[in-house]
Structure 1
């Protein structure tokens, strides 16, 4: 065959009758009359290349400014995500959040009555919906670009030298291929640009965008800072002396240790602390203030005495005076107390203040037993416990919340105490008065099973709370004795030993404020960053692809008029007319055309007319095209 246009003319006029001087407007021969009569494939390719410079129309999203805008948005989002991730990891989040609920109530007057309208807004919606909205917009922008790439592809293939199959050109419209498998159809047709952009669209829309709602998450943290603090009181040893009222102290210990009441301010299970407070308005009420202070404590080192001597001075067979004597670590002690059948439980408490320094100065001695008329000394289940006393003053850093943020009268919560040096083990000046006075008060209760000092009752009730059936066990008693002594001493220090010092000089402390901060969820940020990098790379690829792969369009094929302009003088119009003339035609031109050999078995190409003003879509016979290519 002489050239591809001769093949096209022969196909459209099977009778071989050509009238180039007076062609019929309705006949397909119009196309051959309008084309240059003699072109080889090589000449056609040269003609296309020569004409391409004047026809570089692009879909709007593929134009340089829109692609560069997408690139700019992508880079901005990438920088923001990476920056916030770094800031979040280094600064315990990147922003502080107020209360997560904002509520307001509006009152309206209507018909002599008020109507309340309540509005509540959960601020958490912002850090879930805002990223989702931003990345939804980003995915939609890319979808706009990807749709243009898909729509443009058949018109690119029409411009290829030698054309392309009908399934890639005149029978293809990606707009009507569902997006979920559009990428499969594209890769089957070797349309890599279409397939890759559609895959990225699906990834951005159905992976990145939902994940972005979890990009930020609130978390409570402690933010450190400095704050001026001053002591609210100071410890005076002489305030724990003979004039101290013991009953309020015993009552306070009873409420705290026996009935689970709140702790005395500025005490914990071991220490009484010198109180301090932050500068007025310097910290939030929930802030944790840490400052150097002093802790005061007393403790007992108790031993169960296995070897002791007993004596009994009987009055009659059911009463008498019992004597208990023994030695504990170099300190002698002795107790005398009456026993009688009307009392079942005995718990004798005494103080020995005449021990040597080597024997730790003093002892608190406790003897427990139950009345038994058959026992030699009228007492059974005997246990003798002797306790050496000790005191220490411990400097350290105390972290508290509550009262330090106010005037010091509020509730104080002790969080931690960190010793900073070795404790001072020297005994307080009035330690003898304290140890003797701790047994100075006695309460009698008609329903009580025993008669002992107030301190002894605290010990027995505490032991009974710990072990109701075996509270007279020596180990249970020993532990309760130690706990109660420590509690009584630190309560006495906190209640009586501290003298208020208003206007005291301030010093530097630290504050950690519980704050809700917004964090970047790292793994979500990494996934989002990967998608943004991929989108950036694809945007650059599409930018190059759009500039180097031209199509035949000079405008967007919008509406029937634009489509009619594309089909003017084309052999495709004749094929459509013949499809409508086929038997069984039911108005489905494309469906019928897919079955016609002149459509499906031919390649389709767009060629410039002889005036080089427009493109005309023409069919090329595969066999003729192969022969022409071989002859060239």
Structure 2
């Protein structure tokens, strides 16, 4: 028995293997893609690229776009050959079946004559479920699998982390904070950053000061985005209170009056005095109280503020007395340093506040007292205050324009400026270059173009190829259970003539049609018009020889449809039983 190579067992096993291999490959790539955020790094693509390196990059892009389409197009050709062979042998398998078949499903059937876009509909109508579903799956392969295979894999930028050692190039040295510091320039920098929105100095975020980190690992990596590491940061804060229980004295003189405040803040006695005259609108005085009694905090920063009012008993309205306790902290945390367009990297610090410790340094008293003593005369200014007070007032007016002089807003402003002053001081002055090499383990984040498997396309592939595996398995069983009577591949009219040459009943059918006056040379149309081709049975004899006879039984005109007479073109059926023709 001859059978197309596409329908041989080994061929169907090959296509089942290919289907399973495609499912396995896509599943593995999808797993690695989801696990490693892409399964391979690829070069950037650019339509304007030129040169050998860009040409290589473009050629790599073809690997995940054009190549899958080409391979699956070849697969479609293979699949189409199987389906075509399966459809071509339908009449021969139907005639060779044990029970025979109808003329419509055998002698007058050729699925190649139907438009391929809906030939599967006629296959289902003829109850050829396997053949119809095979044609339908062929369309799915052509319209979905092949086009979407070019989009099965897509490149996307992701951030990948790896561990790398970095060097800390500075260390906090408290001895650098002494009376030689120019606090005027530091206050100018604070004013530029906090009031006018200027840039921060390197290695501070305005609250914490960090040791400098050697960023060469990020600079040497062209795709480096950020470096993150655990680090110790230094900072200072104020715990402030607005005092309402205080004593106030006024001492008048020719040049103005001196106002003196006395109070007790959390067990520490504080006193502050300042001159008031009609020459300014706002008066803000800062002073430091060093060495408070034990258990009450080391020191206080005392502030009074008010607006000049000549009718007030003490020449001030909106009067507030504020006392603040300075605190110095060393805080561990996770510092993320991000590459920026400017020279200064962007810093993001996540403090571990549970492990914060006190970091009061030996020269804290010099810092607190010297900070109050910076004076600057600003012609035309409505404020009478120190350089520190000038920055505090400017920040409060900018941040809280509607009620900037209130005690609540002044506390917030003083606390922010004090913290920023110390952060700038520690970052620019106290952090000194180290004599030795201090290394730390850091996480280097690089932005890479990684190739991903598109999940929804992969899942669609799984479903379709699983159906194709099932379909091919059914085809394998079908061809084993439904042999044909062909001895060689039917080629052209000569093979057709050989097949029907030993079939007298077919000769009689054709001869009778040609003898009819209504015959117009269209045998199939004539047969369908004159006879009931759905109920007419036909089969191939099985006598063990290489010559097979096609037998047509019970062919009757439609108008004699009710007749029960059984005959085979002039031969009584009783003389031609199925037992004899098989």
TM-score normalised to structure 1 length: 0.79
Could you tell me whether the CA contact under 8 Å between 1:285 and 1:401 is conserved in 2?
A: no
Task: After superposing the two structures, state which structure 1 stretch, 382-391 or 590-599, moved more.
Answer: 590-599
Instruction: Show the counterpart of 2:316.
Output: 379
1:184 aligns with one of 115, 118, 121: 121
After superposition, the Cα gap between the structure-2 partners of 1:421 and 1:590, relative to the gap in structure 1 and judged at 3 Å, is: same
Cα distance in 2, alignment partners of residues 233 and 190 from structure 1: 84
After superposition, the Cα gap between the structure-2 partners of 1:274 and 1:629, relative to the gap in structure 1 and judged at 3 Å, is: farther
Instruction: Show the counterpart of 1:325.
Output: 262
After superposition, the Cα gap between the structure-2 partners of 1:262 and 1:136, relative to the gap in structure 1 and judged at 3 Å, is: farther
Name the SS for the 2:236 alignment partner: strand
Instruction: Show the counterpart of 1:48.
Output: none
2:476 aligns with one of 543, 558, 568: 543
Instruction: Show the counterpart of 1:34.
Output: none
Structure 2 portions without partners, runs of 5+: 556-565
2:101 aligns with one of 143, 146, 164: 164
2:373 is the counterpart of 1:440: yes
After superposition, the Cα gap between the structure-2 partners of 1:149 and 1:630, relative to the gap in structure 1 and judged at 3 Å, is: closer
Could you tell me whether the CA contact under 8 Å between 1:166 and 1:604 is conserved in 2?
A: yes
Cα distance in 1, alignment partners of residues 435 and 333 from structure 2: 22
Could you tell me whether the CA contact under 8 Å between 1:370 and 1:380 is conserved in 2?
A: yes
2:88 is the counterpart of 1:155: no
Could you tell me whether the CA contact under 8 Å between 2:100 and 2:539 is conserved in 1?
A: yes
2:19 is the counterpart of 1:86: no
Cα distance in 2, alignment partners of residues 247 and 153 from structure 1: 99
Cα distance in 1, alignment partners of residues 388 and 433 from structure 2: 28
Instruction: Show the counterpart of 1:76.
Output: 21
Quote how far apart the aligned CAs of 1:98 are.
Answer: 3.1
After superposition, the Cα gap between the structure-2 partners of 1:325 and 1:184, relative to the gap in structure 1 and judged at 3 Å, is: same
After superposition, the Cα gap between the structure-2 partners of 1:556 and 1:372, relative to the gap in structure 1 and judged at 3 Å, is: farther
Cα distance in 1, alignment partners of residues 336 and 169 from structure 2: 15
Name the SS for the 1:545 alignment partner: helix
Quote how far apart the aligned CAs of 1:267 are.
Answer: 1.7
Could you tell me whether the CA contact under 8 Å between 2:163 and 2:444 is conserved in 1?
A: yes
After superposition, the Cα gap between the structure-2 partners of 1:162 and 1:393, relative to the gap in structure 1 and judged at 3 Å, is: closer
1:590-601 alignment runs, 5 A limit: 590-597=524-531
Could you tell me whether the CA contact under 8 Å between 1:228 and 1:279 is conserved in 2?
A: no
1:88-487 alignment runs, 5 A limit: 88-101=33-46, 103-105=48-50, 127=64, 130-209=67-146, 212-277=149-214, 283=221, 286-315=224-253, 319-402=256-339, 410-419=343-352, 422-487=355-420
2:4 is the counterpart of 1:59: yes
Quote how far apart the aligned CAs of 1:122 are.
Answer: 10
Name the SS for the 2:104 alignment partner: helix
Quote how far apart the aligned CAs of 1:131 are.
Answer: 4.2
Quote how far apart the aligned CAs of 1:237 are.
Answer: 0.7
Could you tell me whether the CA contact under 8 Å between 1:322 and 1:339 is conserved in 2?
A: yes
Could you tell me whether the CA contact under 8 Å between 1:155 and 1:169 is conserved in 2?
A: yes
After superposition, the Cα gap between the structure-2 partners of 1:473 and 1:176, relative to the gap in structure 1 and judged at 3 Å, is: farther
Instruction: Show the counterpart of 1:44.
Output: none
Quote how far apart the aligned CAs of 1:583 are.
Answer: 4.6
TM-score normalised to structure 2 length: 0.85
Cα distance in 2, alignment partners of residues 238 and 387 from structure 1: 24
Cα distance in 1, alignment partners of residues 231 and 71 from structure 2: 52
| 1:262-296 residue CA offsets vs partner (Å, 9 max, x unmatched) | 33222224311112226657755624333342211
Cα distance in 1, alignment partners of residues 370 and 266 from structure 2: 24
| 1:443-501 residue CA offsets vs partner (Å, 9 max, x unmatched) | 33335332322222222222222221211122122112111111111111111111123
Cα distance in 2, alignment partners of residues 574 and 260 from structure 1: 104
Cα distance in 1, alignment partners of residues 491 and 369 from structure 2: 105
Quote how far apart the aligned CAs of 1:630 are.
Answer: 8.9
Structure 1 portions without partners, runs of 5+: 1-54, 108-116, 404-408
After superposition, the Cα gap between the structure-2 partners of 1:148 and 1:453, relative to the gap in structure 1 and judged at 3 Å, is: farther
Could you tell me whether the CA contact under 8 Å between 2:292 and 2:298 is conserved in 1?
A: yes
Could you tell me whether the CA contact under 8 Å between 1:227 and 1:279 is conserved in 2?
A: no
Could you tell me whether the CA contact under 8 Å between 1:101 and 1:122 is conserved in 2?
A: no
Cα distance in 1, alignment partners of residues 262 and 515 from structure 2: 131
Quote how far apart the aligned CAs of 1:593 are.
Answer: 2.8
| 1:16-37 residue CA offsets vs partner (Å, 9 max, x unmatched) | xxxxxxxxxxxxxxxxxxxxxx
Quote how far apart the aligned CAs of 1:350 are.
Answer: 1.6
Quote how far apart the aligned CAs of 1:411 are.
Answer: 2.7
Cα distance in 2, alignment partners of residues 118 and 135 from structure 1: 25
After superposition, the Cα gap between the structure-2 partners of 1:461 and 1:147, relative to the gap in structure 1 and judged at 3 Å, is: farther
2:450 is the counterpart of 1:517: yes
